[in-house]
């Protein structure tokens, strides 16, 4: 019939690598990315509940509103969790300068 075509040898083939499992993230999650735990998120972010899933959210900075939990385990009841305050800050009752200290707002404040 005719000469057989030469078989391609694939000289440009790259070495085979085993792909990472789908559950193993290749890079740290950015803000808004889905996560399972805070170690899945990039620096300055934590993994917190957002509706019925968890996403990477920013760690709170000085002056930002934070959540102070009275009972242990109450954190799990929120559907919109906030991250903890950044290092060196504590979640404290905001002091209002006025006659009526009625605010129950907590903010991240320096120790």
Question: Which secondary structure element, helix H or strand E, spans residue 90, and what is its range?
Answer: strand 89-93
Where residue 63 falls (left for φ over 0; alpha for ψ -120 to 50; beta otherwise) is left
CATH 2.10.80.10 placement within the chain:
28-58
Q: According to the model, what pLDDT value does residue 29 have?
A: 94
pLDDT-based confidence at 78, cuts 50/70/90?
confident
Q: What is the pTM of this model?
A: 0.65
Q: How far apart are CA 7 and CA 58, in angstroms?
A: 55
* Higher-scoring residue by pLDDT: 72, 9: 72
The residue to which tokens 């200290």 are assigned: 101
CATH fold label, 28-58: Lipase, subunit A (2.10.80)
């Amino acid at each position: 019939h005719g000469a057989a075509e030469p078989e391609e040898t694939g000289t440009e083939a790259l070495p085979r690598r085993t792909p990472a499992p789908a559950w193993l993230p290749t890079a740290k999650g950015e803000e808004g990315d889905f996560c399972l735990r805070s170690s899945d998120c990039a620096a300055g972010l934590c993994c917190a509940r957002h509706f019925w899933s968890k996403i990477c959210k920013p760690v709170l900075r000085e002056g930002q509103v934070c959540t102070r939990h009275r009972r242990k385990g109450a954190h799990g009841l929120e559907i919109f969790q906030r991250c903890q305050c950044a290092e060196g800050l504590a979640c404290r009752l905001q002091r209002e300068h006025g006659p009526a200290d009625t605010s129950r707002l907590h903010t991240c404040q320096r120790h």
